[in-house]
Each structure stands twice: as structure tokens, then as C-alpha cells.
């Protein structure tokens, strides 16, 4: 009985250690899944803000416009690596799709019964897993509302292939599968488990699945799994036994399962059984020998006692080894947790270092603007003292006035920098375009001097406009810096900025003397990730962000070319009316 108890105790420790390893593997898999979904979650909202997507749902959209959008959706779909991308009108009918040229195209199909459509048409992001009713392929659907003002006019949907996630999960060392809230396996690295149920579907679950058409509930059979104590055996084909672990996923009330291999556990159990069996055989032999020689010489009793003590020592050594192993495991767990905490702190320090690096870069650009006045102030202070000792009060007063002007200049530059660094609260307010232009040029004065650029500012303010000081400074700086970047090598940049009041708006025109914008890319100049710069010199987000900032203020930003050469951008913002001030 002692050996049986020892085996059971040691075996329990081995199983718990194996379970801890499985849970660690499961945690890593959970992070992989979270990163995979996060990669696609922002795509629908980004597509929904595209002007051509919004235009396609407005009344009067022509066939040519929809054909062009079909091709563009196919291009987005290929770049993002998604299965399908499509546009649904308010009544649930698909008007454009990336698979427009296939027999199984979604164009003309009605998906109003899908939960992702109901969520998005109500103004909320949607997500749903299901079997495609047209393609017959499993996928995860992400949707976003397409809005015109406060009105939702349609839905954009991105479908990600379930097979793509399964290929990613297949890189893990052990089988992985995910079940939905009904207990149906919707994703699995083991093909035999896909679209099978861990438990029979209840009538209410079947009714819900049939309503949203996630899959056909009548085709869902039992999963080829059989439970054996705390283990799980996959039946059919090459049957194998695993240690199962699971954890809940926030997404869609899913559950993540991992089947951890137990080959190492079985080998350790076998070694433990052999060792204990050997000890048991030895103990039995000693006991039998002591019984046979009980009536013999008295000295044999001492030998039997010695053998008994030796056996107890061996058992104690075995127990001590197991206790030491458990202690080492606890130390290893503590060290791993400490390493994870250190990694988290390192990541936080790297983020902070990135912030400090950005501030250091801006300080380097402005150092010349502060050092030059400080050197002049030092010289003027010496002159003022000399004039004061010589009794030349007028000259000393003139020198002090110069010092005052230099300090005012430094204070103004510091004020510009502080205002620009302040985080915007995202609201609109009456702002003066002339002030915004002055402060933006002051912040990039070092860049302009380094490029030997000249900036010509003309026109008048024309009254306050609806906008935001910090965000519009960002737009003006982006337009001027783009003009510098687009300049051919060897040509000195010349940027013209004009403020032109109109009847209901005030226009800000930025022109340069570069090569202009090719006609072939004018329609795409404000698209996200579109850039004409070389690889590594830009992400193609500057003009897209500027376009959206201006649009959020109710204005427009358009691009064109200057006759004779050069690019021309026109920023138009609404004048501030009495109603805006009252609000």
C-alpha cells in the first residue's frame, strides 16, 4: 500500500506539472489568436470612411462607378489578405464586392438576416462566425456602419477565412480547437473535429443557429472524442490520447481548447512504476528472507533491521527527490513570472524611451533658435554694463531694449512649442488661419532653413473659421513639409501660402515649385497608405489623416496642380457664424 500511495502521489505531481505546461502553451496560443484578430478589426471602419464607398451608396451611383469600386475592393482584399470584402445597402442587398467576377459573387445577394448586418446598420461594429451561404466556406465576418452625417446608409463587411487562422494555429506543437457557445467546434487544426459538437445541440441552440445560418445544425455530428479520467482520446484514424486544457475567450463567448501531448508524461510514469516496483520487490525479498531466518541465529535479526532501515532510507530519498523536484518547479514558476514582469517593465520603458526620443528630436531642431538669442543676450548684457559705467544711458537703454525683444522672441517660440505639444481635446472652436500659419511655420523654421526654402504668405485672415488650433497646425505643417519632400534635387524650394476669404468659407492655398502631382494618382492622393515616396520614407498616412481632420471640421481638402508646374492644395473651412458662437 505504501508503494501504491507513493506512486499515486508522484503521479499526481507529474500530471499537475504537465497541466501547467499545457496552460502556458494555451496562454501563448490565446495571445496569438488575439493578435491575429486585431490585425483585421480596424479594416471595416477604415473602408467605411472612404469617399468612394460612401458615394456608391448614395442615390444616383452609376454602373461604371460600382464597377470601379468592385475592382478597388478586390485590390484592398488582396493587400489585406482577407477572403472577401463587400458593401451592403440599407435593405441588406450587396451592391459591390471583391468577388464581383466570380460565379459565387455576393453582388445582388441579401444578407439582412446576418447578425453582423443588424449590428452595423444599427450604428455598431459587428462580428460573426459562420459558414458562407454562398461560398460554403467558414469565415469570421467583421462589419462597420457607413455613415453620412448622423445617418447610417449601409454596411461594409470584411470576411476572414477560418482556414487562414487554422494555418496559423497549426504551427503550434499540439492540436488546438475553438468551440462556440453551443459547444460546436468552429475552428480546429484537426480536420476531423471541424463542425462537430462536444455535446448534443439543444432545441433552442438549433433554432438560434438556423435563424442566423451560422451552419446547418442537422449536419453537426458528435465530436470524435472520448473522455478517460482527466484525459481525452481522439478516436478514428490514428487515435491518440491528450491532456485537455481550456480557457474562455471574450470574443463571441467562445472557448479555446488545447490537447497537450502526454508522451513525456507516460514515459515518466513508466519510469516511476519501474522504480517503485523494484523497491517493492526488494522489500518483499527482504521480508521473506527475514521470515525464513527468524528462528536462526540472533545476529540475523540485526541484519534484517539493517535491511529495513536501508529500505526506509531509500523511500525517504525518493520522497526527498520528489519534494526537491516540486520545489524546483515552484522556483522555476516564480522565475518565469519575474521574467514576465521584467519584460512588461522593459516594454513600458521602451515606450517611454520612444516618447523621450521624439521630444529630443524636436529639441535638436529648435536648439539653434534658442542658442542664437542667448548668445546675443550675453553680448548685449556686457555692452549694457560698459555703457552704464561710461554714463551712456541712452545707449545702455537701447541695448536693454534689444535684450527685451530677444527674450520676447524666445518666449513666443516657447509658447508655440508648448501649444503644439499639448494634446488636442478633439473639439472644434473659432480659430484664426493667419495665427495657425504663423505658429506652424515657426515650429518648422529649422527644417525650412536646412532646405534653403523660402515661404511667401499673402492674403488676409478673413475672420475666424470652425476648426481646432492644434489639429489645423498639424495639417498646415504636413502640407508644407510634403512640398519640401517633393522638391527635385538641386532646386531650392519656394512655397506660396495664400489666405483667401470667400462668401461662406475661408480658403488656405498652399502651392510649391516642384514637379506637381501626376494625373494618374490625383484620385488616390488622400487614400490611406498611398504614397509616391520611396520605400522607407513614408507610410502614406499624412495626407489621409489631414483629409479626415479637415472633414471632421466640416471643411474640404483638395489637390491639384499649378499651371506651369508645382502642386496645389486648397484647404476650405466654414466661417464662424453667430449660431456657432452661441453653441
CATH number of 43-163: 3.30.450.20
Percent of the chain whose pLDDT exceeds 70: 79
Q: What is the pLDDT of residue 350?
A: 38
Q: Taking 70 as the threshold, does the pLDDT of residue 408 lie above it? A: no
Domain limits of the chain? Answer: 2-41+170-264, 43-163, 329-422, 423-582
Residue 402 pLDDT > 70: no
Model confidence over 318-368: pLDDT tens digits? 888 888 888 888 888 888 888 767 644 543 343 334 333 334 444 544 554
Alpha carbons 348 and 331: distance in angstroms, whole number? 26
Per residue in 430-445, pLDDT (tens digit) is 999 988 898 888 888 8
Segment among 1-10, 373-382, 452-461, 508-517 with least mean pLDDT: 1-10
Whether the domain at 2-41+170-264 and the domain at 423-582 fall into the same CATH topology: no
Confidence of residue 578 (pLDDT cuts 50, 70, 90): low
Tell me how far the alpha carbon of residue 345 is from its chain's centroid.
20
The architecture in CATH of the region 2-41+170-264 reads: 2-Layer Sandwich (3.30)
Burial label, 567 (beta-carbon count in 10 A; 0-12, 13-18, 19+): buried
Angle at which helix 299-389 crosses helix 263-292, to 10 degrees, equals 140
- With bands split at pLDDT 50, 70 and 90, how would you rate the model's confidence at 580? low
Residue 538 banded pLDDT, cuts 50, 70, 90: low
- Mean pLDDT (whole number) for 289-294: 82
Whole-number pLDDT of residue 362: 44
Distances (CA, A) of 292 to 301, 379, 543: 11, 113, 98
**Domain 423-582 class in CATH:** alpha beta
* Range from 67-76, 154-163, 390-399 carrying the lowest mean pLDDT: 390-399
CB atoms within 10 A of CB 475: 27
* pLDDT score of 382: 72
Angle between helices 542-552 and 469-485 (to 10 degrees): 150
- Angle at alpha carbon of residue 329, lines to 325 and 335, rounded to 5°: 140
Cβ–Cβ under 8 Å, residues 122 and 147? no
d(CA 406, CA 374): 8
pLDDT at 60 over 80: no
Question: What angle (nearest 5°) sits at the alpha carbon of residue 150, between those of residues 145 and 154?
Answer: 30
Amino acid at each position: 500500500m505504501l508503494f501504491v500511495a507513493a506512486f499515486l502521489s508522484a503521479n499526481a505531481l507529474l500530471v499537475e506539472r504537465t497541466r501547467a505546461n499545457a496552460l502556458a502553451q494555451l496562454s501563448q496560443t490565446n495571445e496569438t489568436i488575439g493578435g491575429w484578430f486585431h490585425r483585421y478589426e480596424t479594416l471595416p471602419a477604415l473602408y467605411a470612411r472612404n469617399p468612394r464607398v460612401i458615394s456608391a451608396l448614395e442615390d444616383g451611383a452609376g454602373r461604371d462607378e460600382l464597377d470601379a469600386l468592385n475592382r478597388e475592393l478586390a485590390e484592398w482584399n488582396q493587400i489585406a489578405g482577407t477572403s472577401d470584402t463587400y458593401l451592403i445597402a440599407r435593405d441588406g442587398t450587396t451592391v459591390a464586392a471583391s468577388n464581383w467576377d466570380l460565379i459565387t459573387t455576393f453582388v445582388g445577394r441579401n444578407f439582412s438576416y446576418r447578425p453582423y448586418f443588424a449590428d452595423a446598420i444599427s450604428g455598431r461594429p459587428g462580428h460573426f462566425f459562420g459558414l458562407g451561404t454562398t461560398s460554403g466556406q467558414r469565415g469570421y465576418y467583421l462589419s462597420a456602419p457607413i455613415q453620412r452625417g448622423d445617418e447610417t446608409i449601409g454596411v461594409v463587411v470584411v470576411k476572414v477565412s477560418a482556414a487562414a487562422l487554422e494555418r496559423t494555429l497549426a504551427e503550434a506543437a499540439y492540436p488546438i480547437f475553438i468551440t462556440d457557445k453551443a459547444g460546436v467546434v468552429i475552428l480546429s487544426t484537426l480536420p476531423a473535429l471541424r463542425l462537430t459538437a462536444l455535446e448534443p445541440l439543444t432545441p433552442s441552440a438549433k433554432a438560434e443557429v438556423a435563424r442566423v445560418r451560422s451552419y446547418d445544425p442537422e449536419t453537426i455530428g458528435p465530436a470524435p472524442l472520448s473522455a478517460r479520467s482527466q484525459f481525452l482520446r481522439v478516436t478514428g484514424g490514428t487515435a491518440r490520447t491528450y491532456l485537455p486544457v481550456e480557457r474562455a475567450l471574450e470574443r463571441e463567448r467562445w472557448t479555446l481548447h488545447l490537447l497537450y501531448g502526454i508522451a513525456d508524461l507516460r514515459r515518466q510514469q513508466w519510469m516511476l512504476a519501474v522504480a517503485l516496483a523494484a523497491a517493492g520487490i526488494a522489500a518483499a525479498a527482504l521480508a521473506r528472507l527475514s521470515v525464513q531466518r527468524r528462528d536462526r541465529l540472533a545476529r540475523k535479526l540485526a541484519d534484517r533491521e539493517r535491511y529495513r532501515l536501508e529500505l526506509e532510507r531509500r523511500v525517504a530519498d525518493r520522497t526527498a527527490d520528489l519534494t526537491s523536484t516540486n520545489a524546483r518547479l515552484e522556483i522555476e514558476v516564480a522565475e518565469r513570472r519575474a521574467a514576465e514582469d521584467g519584460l512588461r517593465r522593459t516594454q513600458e520603458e521602451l515606450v517611454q524611451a520612444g516618447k523621450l526620443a521624439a521630444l529630443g528630436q524636436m529639441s535638436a531642431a529648435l536648439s539653434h533658435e534658442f542658442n542664437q538669442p542667448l548668445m546675443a543676450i550675453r553680448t548685449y548684457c556686457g555692452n549694457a554694463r560698459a555703457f552704464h559705467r561710461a554714463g551712456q544711458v541712452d545707449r545702455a537703454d537701447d541695448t536693454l531694449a534689444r535684450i527685451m525683444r530677444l527674450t520676447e522672441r524666445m518666449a513666443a517660440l516657447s509658447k508655440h512649442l508648448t501649444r503644439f505639444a499639448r494634446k488636442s481635446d478633439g473639439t472644434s472652436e473659432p480659430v484664426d488661419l493667419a495665427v495657425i500659419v504663423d505658429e506652424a511655420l515657426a515650429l518648422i523654421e529649422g527644417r525650412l532653413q536646412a532646405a534653403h526654402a523660402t515661404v511667401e504668405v499673402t492674403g488676409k485672415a478673413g475672420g475666424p473659421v470652425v476648426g481646432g488650433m492644434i489639429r489645423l497646425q498639424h495639417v498646415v505643417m504636413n502640407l508644407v513639409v510634403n512640398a519640401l519632400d517633393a522638391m527635385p534635387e538641386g532646386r531650392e524650394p519656394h512655397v506660396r501660402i495664400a489666405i483667401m476669404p470667400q462668401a461662406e468659407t475661408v480658403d488656405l492655398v498652399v502651392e510649391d515649385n516642384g514637379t506637381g502631382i501626376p494625373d494618374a494618382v490625383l484620385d488616390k492622393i488622400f487614400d490611406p497608405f498611398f504614397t509616391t515616396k520611396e520605400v522607407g520614407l513614408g507610410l502614406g498616412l499624412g495626407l489621409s489623416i489631414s483629409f479626415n481632420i479637415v472633414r471632421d471640421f466640416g471643411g474640404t481638402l483638395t489637390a491639384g496642380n499649378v499651371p506651369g508646374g508645382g502642386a496645389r492644395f486648397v484647404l476650405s473651412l466654414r466661417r464662424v457664424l453667430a449660431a456657432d458662437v452661441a453653441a
